[in-house]
Amino acid sequence: MKHIFSTLLVAAQLAGFSAVATAMEMKTNPKAVLELFTSQGCSSCPPADEALRQWGEQDDLITIAYHVDYWNYIGWKDVFSAPKYSKLQRDYAKSFGAGRVYTPQLIVNGKGDAVGSRRTDVEQLVEDAQLDVQVDLAVADGNLTIDLTSDGAESVDATIWVIPYISRAETDIRRGENEGKKLTYSFIARNRLPVGMWHGEAQHQLELPLRDILVDGADGMAVLVQTKRDGGPGPILGAASIQK
C-alpha cells in the first residue's frame, strides 16, 4: 500500500509540474550559481539562509542550499541534511586546497568561496562572474529536455548535474544552537544526480523522465554543467533552473 501511495503521489506531482510548464519560473541565462553549505544546527547560518533566499529572487542568479550533517551531533538533526552534501563540501575543500570546511560557506560558480552571511564578500565574487555555456530547459509529456549550446571552441570534460530542490520550507527547531526558532529555508537540495557528460560540442541534448528527478517534495530543479578540479568539483560552465 505504501508503494502504491508513493507512486500515485509522484504521478500527481509530475502531472502538476507538466501542466504548469508554461507558467513556471525559468532561469536560462544566469551569471552565477550560488551554492550554500548550511545547517539547522548552526547559529551563524540563519542570516546566510535569508541572504540566499533574497539572491534567489534575482533573475541572473541560481541558488542551491546543501544541508550538511556534521552539525547533527550537537542535539538537533537537520531534517534536510545528508552525508553526501558534507562529502561534496569536503570535495570542494580538497579542490580549493583548503584544510577545513565550515558553515555557512557559499561557493560561487565552483571557483571561489565566502562566508555566506557576508553579503559584500559574496557580491564581490558575483560581480564579475559569468557562465559561457547556454543551458535551456523544457518540460513536456513528463520529460525534461536539456539543451546545451556553446561556441564549440574547445574540448572539455564536464558532468551534467540535476539538483531537485524544495523552493521553500519552514522548520521548528526544538534543540541545538537554534532551539526555539522557527526558521525558513529556500532552494533546499534533495538530491544531486549526474545525468550525462558534455565534451564541448556546439550542440548537445538529453531527455530525462521527470519521475526520476522530482523526489522528496521537490518543486524545482537546477541543472549544472561542471568540470572537475584535482578530482573534486571544479568551475561551473553553465546552468539553468526551473521551478513551479
Encode 102-120: b = buried (16+ Cβ within 10 Å), e = exposed.
ebbbbbbbbebbbbbbebe
Report pLDDT for 10: 47
Rg (CA), the chain: 18
Tell me, what's the pLDDT at 24? Answer: 74
Q: Crossing angle of helices 46-55/119-127, nearest 10°?
A: 30
Contact 210, 164 (CB under 8 A): no
Q: State the Cα–Cα distance between residues 126 and 129, nearest whole angstrom.
A: 5
Written as one string, the DSSP assignment of 78-126 is -TT--HHHHHHHHHHHHHHT-S---SSEEEETTTEEEETT-HHHHHHHH
Tell me the percentage of the chain whose pLDDT exceeds 70.
90
Q: Quick one: pLDDT band at residue 230, thresholds 50, 70, 90? A: confident
What pLDDT is stored for residue 201 in this prediction?
A: 93
Question: Residue 222 has what pLDDT?
Answer: 98
Residue 99 has pLDDT above 90, yes or no: no
- Percent of the chain with pLDDT strictly greater than 90: 80
Average pLDDT over residues 46-61: 97
Q: Please name which of 201, 165, 205 lies closest in space to residue 185, comparing C-alpha atoms.
A: 165
Average pLDDT over residues 148-155: 84
Q: What is the pLDDT of residue 13?
A: 54
As a whole number, mean pLDDT of residues 199-220 equals 93
For residue 176, give the nearest of 43, 37, 36 by alpha carbon.
43
